[in-house]
A and B are shown apart, each in its own frame.
Chain A
């Protein structure tokens, strides 16, 4: 009770601290990139001049925020499910993949957008995006909920290994269903946003799409945070995470609460799927494996079961990958990601922010 009261007393203070931390981290990253890009021994190509390096550093920071936001959105689903029933839902990455395909179904199927063509009419663009999100998010949410109902619930209270292996199985089922339905190659996704919509900052050109992705992701994360911390259902989720039995005795409907967790996680993965297609222009049936792996890593890095940790971890992985690629070491980016993960876990086995959904969310 006391911790809740303390947290309630200074929400603004806490928000301000998080924003300050984020801004400092981003500026620091910017400076590191700015300096690094001017070292030809490091990048292995011609050193950039000051202005140019500054512009590229800003642009890369925005790129890192975009991919980090996508990882974070997926990571939230992993961490929420783990927090509440201590299950690593390996099928989650594939729910994201399904979301990305459904998004194509909406943009190409309903609105007839062809890959390569842009929408320059702003109200229409907003309509397309809104409809895509409003259809895909509930769909992937329901998919995730159905998976829980059919594949995980029967195992509840029993062995922890059984649902884990089932989750791996569900992951393969989703991949193979996608394989049958859409085939195994890349599928072009309509990118919708005009490429020349850019905001010039000095030498840098910030694409409106990146800003959209970042704002959408942060908005969804804030909404989730508010939901978990400020509503009755959110409180039920936190209670279930802390102690299922006690929560149940206090009148929390476990089935409903756990289903809700899967619904929310799936919806966030769906949102990530929508922005993935806009950003990268292709979707593939095995996309969920790698994206899921990165997102899962994000969740572990931030402290699995911890909502803020998942968001932090997602951006951390995004920035790490970005650093490697920005300096011309893209073939080493995965190596770097897992190297850092290993070191963080050696010194902080519970992740950067520590575990426990109930305590921290």
Chain B
């Protein structure tokens, strides 16, 4: 049943498989050996809610591909599923250590993760040095791939791609929604002072001002902040019509919403990026779980496609496999795994001599800018920076009956 769902990408794998069985080295179509896909995501605290669907998505994709590509057997052993939130929230230093360990494991031919841009910033130089393909299902900070800051991270040939679009699109999408759809012309902006949060808030602010909107105040509160009520009292003094939060649940998404309610801003729309779109109210530690009824006027964005051909089937398969609905970046995790499976098919066809050569062949295949990948999200290509051609941002609102995020609309920025 599941094997029939190999999908389009399996064609590539099948071709590669038959190709290798024709070579003298291969013995009767047996596996060329076992290789690993590593996963690096925060798996404790609030961010567990965001990471679990991604891990499930990755495993589902590998399982549906029969656990094979390019003649290799693919495994995701627990030893290469690393957690960068050992103390409850993502930590760049832990992420860097994890990446060193992953790179050192020679069977690993690709790593999927991390969740947070600040962690990616610490990891990319390490995976790049090790020539290991890295695909992030959730990093949205533009500096990871574009311009001089990105060049600093990658001294060698590119190894990093991402299947989500960037904050210079995600921020403006939220801005456009607040200004055009919600018809709010003044906004208070607060970020968590981290790479991702500040970046997306900056992009939001720039776009909102360009549309003619007013920013009543721009503020920042690190995740160790104690007294959010004071900050939101100051926010309320500017009488904003909406609040934009740049950050994730673990760095204060729900705390700021609760404080806003205390300070009299409970009825003002509260809009955040993908960092607060981390599952329904029944998901432990998620934004909606912590915010409770106070989430009534909350909105969030995802820097990826919200509705796509085959979503119904994906949701059904996911539900059947994990007994829970696919949320957040589940499809993005699936897409990363699909890209890796496709690339492994092509890398395996070159018959690399050893695991080291395979890792390099894999990197070349993954970052091939001429390759059009057929993923669950649609057909995508990656440019030389590693960014996806699909620049779609989805908007979600809080559904008080289902106590979950409800898909509202999606905006395609590819042509803009």
CB-nearest residue of chain A relative to B253? A186
Cα of A38 to Cα of B377 in the assembled complex, Å? 51
* Residue tally, chain B, CB below 8 Å to A: 47
The yes or no answer to A342 lying at the interface (CB within 8 A) is: no
Contact in complex: B229, A280 (CB < 8 Å): yes
Task: Kindly name the residue among A37, A64, A185, A318 whose own CB sees the greatest number of chain B CB atoms within 10 A.
Answer: A185
Q: Which of A300-339 contact B (CB under 8 A)?
A: 318, 321-322, 325-328, 330-331, 333-334
- Could you say which of B92-100, B104-112, B286-294 contacts chain A? B286-294
Contact in complex: B292, A328 (CB < 8 Å): no
Number of A-B contacts (CB under 8 A): 133
The yes or no answer to B264 lying at the interface (CB within 8 A) is: yes
Contact partner, A115, options B230, B237, B262, B292, Cβ 8 Å: B292
Contact in complex: A188, B234 (CB < 8 Å): no
Contact in complex: B229, A279 (CB < 8 Å): yes
The yes or no answer to A56 lying at the interface (CB within 8 A) is: yes
Contact in complex: A282, B258 (CB < 8 Å): yes
Contact in complex: B234, A184 (CB < 8 Å): no
The yes or no answer to B250 lying at the interface (CB within 8 A) is: yes
Cα of A209 to Cα of B87 in the assembled complex, Å? 32
- Could you say which of B22-30, B170-178, B216-224 contacts chain A? B216-224
What distance in Å separates the Cβ of B252 from its nearest Cβ neighbour in chain A? Answer: 9
Also in contact, A183 and B284, with CB within 8 A (given A45-B217, A195-B261) = yes
The yes or no answer to A60 lying at the interface (CB within 8 A) is: yes
The yes or no answer to B158 lying at the interface (CB within 8 A) is: no
What distance in Å separates the Cβ of B44 from its nearest Cβ neighbour in chain A? Answer: 5
Contact in complex: A330, B292 (CB < 8 Å): no
Cα of A334 to Cα of B88 in the assembled complex, Å? 22
The yes or no answer to B233 lying at the interface (CB within 8 A) is: yes
Contact in complex: A330, B255 (CB < 8 Å): no
Complex interface: chain B residues within 8 A of A114 (CB): 292
Complex interface: chain B residues within 8 A of A205 (CB): 264
Complex interface: chain A residues within 8 A of B358 (CB): none
The yes or no answer to A238 lying at the interface (CB within 8 A) is: no
Also in contact, A282 and B231, with CB within 8 A (given A185-B48, A328-B219) = no
The yes or no answer to B85 lying at the interface (CB within 8 A) is: yes
The yes or no answer to A235 lying at the interface (CB within 8 A) is: no
Contact in complex: B230, A67 (CB < 8 Å): yes
- Could you say which of A145-153, A258-266, A286-294 contacts chain B? A286-294
Cα of A191 to Cα of B258 in the assembled complex, Å? 10
Q: Which of B211-250 contact A (CB under 8 A)?
A: 215-222, 224-231, 233-234, 237-238, 249-250
Contact partner, A186, options B222, B254, B264, Cβ 8 Å: B254
Complex interface: chain B residues within 8 A of A318 (CB): 227
Residues 12-50 of chain A: 1 if any B CB is under 8 Å from the residue's CB, otherwise 0?
000000000000000000000000010000011110100
Contact partner, B228, options A56, A116, A280, Cβ 8 Å: A280
Cα of A46 to Cα of B88 in the assembled complex, Å? 38
CB-nearest residue of chain B relative to A45? B217
Known: A48-B237, A195-B264. 14 other contacts (CB 8 A): A63-B230, A64-B230, A116-B291, A184-B85, A188-B292, A280-B229, A284-B88, A286-B87, A290-B224, A291-B226, A294-B226, A321-B226, A328-B219, A333-B225
* Cross-chain pairs A/B with CB under 8 angstroms, 22 sampled: A37-B237, A56-B237, A67-B227, A67-B230, A114-B292, A115-B290, A184-B85, A186-B46, A186-B255, A195-B266, A280-B255, A280-B258, A282-B254, A282-B290, A290-B226, A291-B226, A321-B226, A321-B227, A325-B227, A325-B234, A328-B217, A330-B219
